[in-house]
Amino acid sequence: MSTNKIRRRERDTILQSLRAGVVPRIGLQHIQVGRAEEVKALLKDIDRITDGGSSIRFIIGEYGSGKTFFLHLVRSIAHEKKLVTVHADLAPDRRVHATGGQARKLYAELMKNMATRTKPDGNALSSVVEKFISAAMNEARNSDAKVGNIIHSKLEKLKEMVGGYDFADVITAYWEGHDSGNEELKSNAIRWLRAEFTTKTDAKNALGVRSYIDDSSVYDHLKLLATFVRLAGYEGLLVGIDEMVNLYKLNSSIARKNNYEQILRIVNDSLQGNVEGVGFLMCGTPDFLMDTRKGLYSYEALQTRLAENRFAAQAGVRDLSGPLIRLDNLRAEDIYVLLRNIRDVFASGNEVEYLIPDEAIQQFMKHCSEKIGEAYFRTPRNTIREFVDMLSVLEQNSNIHWEQLIGSVEIEEDHGPNLTDLDEDEIDGGDNELSSFEL
């Protein structure tokens, strides 16, 4: 019998997310299966970040293979290791490099989704700044020094970095607002840190600084942020960027090249140790990586740096020490455990409340295998969705037996969204079809 009782709110959130084909924000530990070796590799990266090092990983898998789930899982582990995390999906109006505000919008989305162990749901920027101020105040009390002097001393390290003077001045402005009770000044400082200012004039009038976070300074400010969170008492920063396929789908070769050059800059800095206390996770499809016409491999320098270990391939083994991690297919055994976990979630961890026996799960898997073959565990999103739907029907209709339902469901192979090429002129509008989480 399961000994892990699952709270009602957690249960409902998990099931609603799975039914919609997206990754739940909470309760991942109740449904996680497989990926043990990949998780171990990322744990080493997190340890490297906490030691002041850097890392970068490209998580590559087909649509529905579990990239976003894996990203969420690693973020939750990072929180337990006292890292700050930021994450965002690329979209038509969010890119790594741009000149029309798309990179700034990506940074703003990253800041909105900033999370820590105590604020795992996002919007943690103010808390991080407050923690820095509180640490300075505690240090002042213990040393009989002035808080302002300690803050200025701590921020000196930022001033050695590109854009660091204004970043430090904004943090100082937040402290001044905190000390004087000026909520507007504190609010303006947070707005600046969230990249909500769009002109130098507005930034100067509000905070007295000469710049704002624009397209050209996004990466520099991520490096500044990584240093700042360590000054605030955290162990480092983990940056997760999903839906990288949006870059691959750009029609403009110039736009793709500029974005790939920015990615190359991040790769070089991370692998050469030119940045401290920061890690990057970038999730994309095999086409985004390997297409020699439009993917990362179309840029020779990136192809060289991201090439897989030929000796490992020749020996039929995996090398997870490089920047590339391919998410292998889940095994049938993994899917079986996953479906058992979902059944357990439905019953809130109470075995007495199970809606179906193990035999029903086995029959459901057999049906899936006969209908769509190996795809049911290569990209299991639709399989999981149908399983949740079946359990929902059984929960609401006690007169129906599971044998009546299995065999009646039609499960299609998940080929991912039907994407159209994104033209350079279309980047500023429209809904992003890729914005939902993958499972």
pLDDT at 408 over 70: no
pLDDT band at 427 (very low <50, low <70, confident <90, very high): very low
Amino acid at 324: L
In terms of average pLDDT, the best of 103-112, 332-341, 408-417 is 103-112
Distance, in Å, from the CA atom of 34 to the CA atom of 375, rounded to the nearest integer, reads: 17
- What does pTM read for this prediction? 0.83
Distance, in Å, from the CA atom of 437 to the CA atom of 433, rounded to the nearest integer, reads: 11
Question: What value does the mean pLDDT take over residues 407-431?
Answer: 46
Q: What percent of the chain has pLDDT over 90?
A: 63
Within 51-117, residue ranges assigned H as helices are: 67-80, 102-112
For 362-389, write each residue's pLDDT tens digit.
998 888 877 766 566 556 777 888 889 9
Residues 344/392, Cβ–Cβ less than 8 Å: no
Question: What value does the mean pLDDT take over residues 55-81?
Answer: 89
Q: What percent of the chain has pLDDT over 70?
A: 90
CA atoms within 13 A on the CB side of 337: 12
Question: What value does the mean pLDDT take over residues 168-190?
Answer: 95
CA atoms within 13 A on the CB side of 38: 25
Q: What are phi and psi of 318, to 5 degrees?
A: -110, 145
Measured over the CA atoms of residue 43, residue 49, residue 54 and residue 57, the dihedral's sign is positive
pLDDT at 412 over 70: no
Least confident of 15-24, 111-120, 370-379: 370-379
Burial call 121-141: b when 16+ CB within 10 Å, e when fewer: ebebbbbbbebbbebbbeebe
Regarding the domain with residue range 35-116+234-326, which homologous superfamily does it belong to in the CATH classification? P-loop containing nucleotide triphosphate hydrolases (3.40.50.300)
Least confident of 25-34, 207-216, 413-422: 413-422
* Range(s) of the chain covered by CATH 3.40.50.300: 35-116+234-326
Distance, in Å, from the CA atom of 400 to the CA atom of 257, rounded to the nearest integer, reads: 57
Measured over the CA atoms of residue 345, residue 83, residue 334 and residue 61, the dihedral's sign is positive
- Reduce the DSSP state of residue 324 to 3 states and report it: strand
What pLDDT score does 416 carry?
53
Q: What are phi and psi of 172, to 5 degrees?
A: -60, -40
